[in-house]
Amino acid sequence: MTAVIEVSHLSKHFKGVQAVDDVSFTVEENTIHGLLGRNGAGKTTLMQLITAQDFASSGDIRVFGESPVENARVLQNLCFIKESQKYPDEFQPKHVFASAPWFFPNWDAAFAARLIDDFRVPLNRRIKKLSRGQLSSIGVIVGLASRAPLTFFDEPYLGLDAVARQIFYDRLLEDYGEHPRTVVLSTHLIDEVSNLLERVLVIDEGRIIVDEEAESLRGSATTVVGTRAAVDAFVAHREVMHRDQLGGLASVTVGRLDQAGRVEAAEAGLELSPVSLQQLIIQKTNVSHTEFEVTS
Amino acid sequence: MDESRPIFVQIAELIENDIIGGALPEETQVPSTNEFAAFHRINPATAGKGVNLLVDEGILYKKRGIGMFVATGARDRLVVKRRDQFQSEYIRPLVTEAGKLGISEAQLVEMIGSASRATTSGRATTASGEAATE
């Protein structure tokens, strides 16, 4: 495995705001990473730093083993699809697709044409007149058809409907299978993408709080529901992550359960329900928030 | 996909089910990692992990440059493995639930017997039906 991105002790502060706070991680070649976190957590700032669109306050960034800042060798291998890409006023979608090959040496025009068809992008309408979703489709098409060795999607699908999002996921998986590359996907729609991800980075208040394989996060928490006495007995020797109570009933989230634990729960008459990646991250980002309030 | 367990384990189980059920006979080629990934909408690395789990167990084997194939004897070995799991995954929950409902052991045995007879006679009818059409 080779690291495509190596970040160490990276910080970025704006006036009075610590947007990225002493962050270190690596992204391995040919993986799909999820960069998840709440609004204002520092996702976009982090991606801007890695793609050299902004300067770090301190710390080190290596992309393909080199500093990305004003480095054409690195930058020509990058594609960064932003939430709201700006285009020249007179541009039509066909101009975007016609100019893309100038920036992306691996551009596949046939794949782009197929995606334009899938997403039903009107080629000859002025970009200003396009809907929010249509504008997002253009970004998604550029991101996929550019086949850049390192592609960032920052909330690529604002305004995209469920059908179009599914097309994006399907085409991404298909094309990634045939042309492996490194993809960093930042999104709030965690449940929709959780199966696509190989590794998950969660950023909260500028710090990385989770950096794990998606598969090891899956099933790492289970909610146990039943009568209070039965639940209490079951969780007595387990670590409790979260607890809700309603009259005589209790609902408690605990860590991973093995087969014996599941049998024990079933025999105690308890209901088990899995905790999705999205719920897990909500719990984690909430916990660190309260810790932050206590320490400040 | 079941949220509570790793996807690669579930992929391995789906392949096992197809081998046990006969959809994937021994010495036939199984779909590629990318085909599994696209079909189940999962990361290809995860699908690959599921396939490799079965390679490690000797259920599948790799023909270099061609793909993955079901090993000879895979079905018999899977059936033995599943029989071991049957006790913990089916029988114990069944007995627990029966206990909750006040069903005695004798009644439970009788219920299993009649369900079993219904299934076998159903199968016998189908079998004779097939024989008639042939």
Locate the domains of chain A by residue range. 3-217, 221-274
CB-CB contact of A237 with A278 (8 Å):
no
Give residue-wise pLDDT tens across range B17-50.
Answer: 999 999 999 999 999 999 999 999 999 999 999 9
Whether residue A204 contacts residue A38, with contact meaning beta carbons closer than 8 Å, is answered with: yes
Q: Is B2 in Cβ contact with A173 (below 8 Å)?
A: no
- A258: closest CA of chain B, how far (Å): 10
Does CATH place domain A3-217 in 3.40.50.20? no
Q: Which of A214, A266, A273 sits opposite B96 (nearest CB)?
A: A266
Look at A138 and A269; give whichever has higher pLDDT.
A138
Say whether residue B45 is in contact with chain A using an 8 A CB cutoff: yes
Q: What is the pLDDT of residues A28-52, one digit of tens each?
A: 999 999 999 888 889 999 999 999 9
Residue for token pair 């970004």: A139
CA distance B69 to B59: 9
Which chain B residue has the Cα nearest residue A30? B45
Say yes or no for a CB contact (<8 Å) between A177 and B33.
yes
Query: Touching check for B130 and chain A: CB below 8 Å?
Result: no
Number of structural domains chain B divides into: 1
State the nearest Cα–Cα gap between A19 and chain B, in angstroms.
31
For residue A31, give the 3-state DSSP assignment.
coil
CATH number at residue B5: 1.10.10.10
The answer as to whether B65 is a domain residue is: yes
- The interface residues of chain B toward chain A in range 8-37, judged by CB-CB distance below 8 A, are 8, 33-34, 37
- Interchain proximity B43–A170, CB inside 8 Å: no
pLDDT of residue B129: 46
Angle formed by the axes of helices A93-103 and A132-145, nearest 10°:
30
User: Hey, which CATH number is domain A221-274, 2.60.40, 3.30.70, 3.30.1370, 3.40.50?
Assistant: 3.30.70
Residue position matching structure tokens 């285009």: A87
Closest residue, chain A, to B89 (C-alpha): A263
Q: Which of A173, A197, A219 sits opposite B37 (nearest CB)?
A: A173
Closest CA to A76 of A178, A163, A174, A151: A151
- Across chain A, what does the average pLDDT equal? 89
Count of C-beta atoms within a 10 Å radius of residue B106? 8
Cβ distance of B38 and A173 shorter than 8 Å: yes
Choice among A5-9, A171-175, A263-267 with the minimum mean pLDDT = A263-267
Q: Do A198 and B43 touch (CB under 8 A)?
A: yes
Total CB pairs under 8 A between chain A and B: 68
The residue of chain A nearest to residue B98, with distances taken between CA atoms, is A267
Q: Do B92 and A169 touch (CB under 8 A)?
A: no
Side by side, the strands of the sheet bearing A207-213 are A78-81, A150-154, A182-186, A32-36, A199-204, A207-213
Mean pLDDT, range A8-24, rounded to an integer: 92
Q: How far is CA B35 from the centre of its chain?
A: 20
pLDDT in tens, A189-232: 888 898 999 999 999 999 999 999 988 888 788 899 999 999 99
| pLDDT above 60 (res A165) | yes
Q: Name the residue of chain A whose CA is nearest to B10's CA.
A: A215
pLDDT tens sequence across A141-156 = 999 999 999 999 999 9
B13: three-class secondary structure by DSSP: helix
| Residue A273 reports pLDDT greater than 90 | no
Beta strand extents in chain B (DSSP E only): 60-63, 67-70
ipTM > 0.95, yes or no: no
**Residues A249 and A225 sit within 8 Å (Cβ to Cβ):** yes
pLDDT of residue B133: 44
8 Å CB contact between A281 and A190:
yes
Return the percentage of chain A with pLDDT > 90, whole number: 62
Take residue A132 and report the two structure tokens written for it.
């929010």
Name the phi and psi angles at A161, rounded to 5: -75, 170
Is B109 a member of any domain?
Answer: no
What is the structure's pLDDT at B96? 86
> For residue B117, is it within any domain?
no
> What is the number of other CB atoms lying within 10 angstroms of the CB of residue A175?
17
Give the pLDDT confidence score for residue A88 in this predicted structure: 85
Least confident of A245-249, A286-290, B10-14, B118-122: A286-290
- For A113, counting Cβ atoms within 10 Å of its Cβ (0-12 exposed, 13-18 middle, 19+ buried), the class is middle
Sign of CA dihedral B98, B101, B106, B108: negative
Provide residues of A within 8 Å CB-CB of chain B. 31-32, 169-170, 173-174, 176-178, 195-198, 214-216, 218-219, 222, 259, 263, 266-267, 269, 272-276
Residue to test with chain B: of A200, A218, A253, A270, most B Cβ within 10 A: A218
What is residue A246's DSSP assignment?
E
Distance CA A27, CA A88 (A): 33
The label of the residue with tokens 């996907």 reads A185
Tokens 């809700």 correspond to what residue? A244
Domain coverage including residue B59: 1-103
Residues of chain A found within 8 Å of residue B43, distances taken between Cβ atoms: 32, 173, 195-198, 214
User: What is the token pair recorded at A64?
Assistant: 């393909």
Token readout for B71 is 């090993």
Residue A16 backbone zone (phi > 0: left; psi -120 to 50: alpha; other: beta): left
Interval B61-111: pLDDT, tens: 999 989 999 999 999 999 998 988 888 888 988 998 898 899 999 999 999
pLDDT greater at residue A166 or residue A269: A166
For residue B11, list chain A residues with Cβ-Cβ distance below 8 A. Answer: none
Q: Hey, is the C-beta of B84 within 8 angstroms of any chain A C-beta?
A: no
Q: Does the fold of domain A221-274 match that of domain A3-217?
A: no
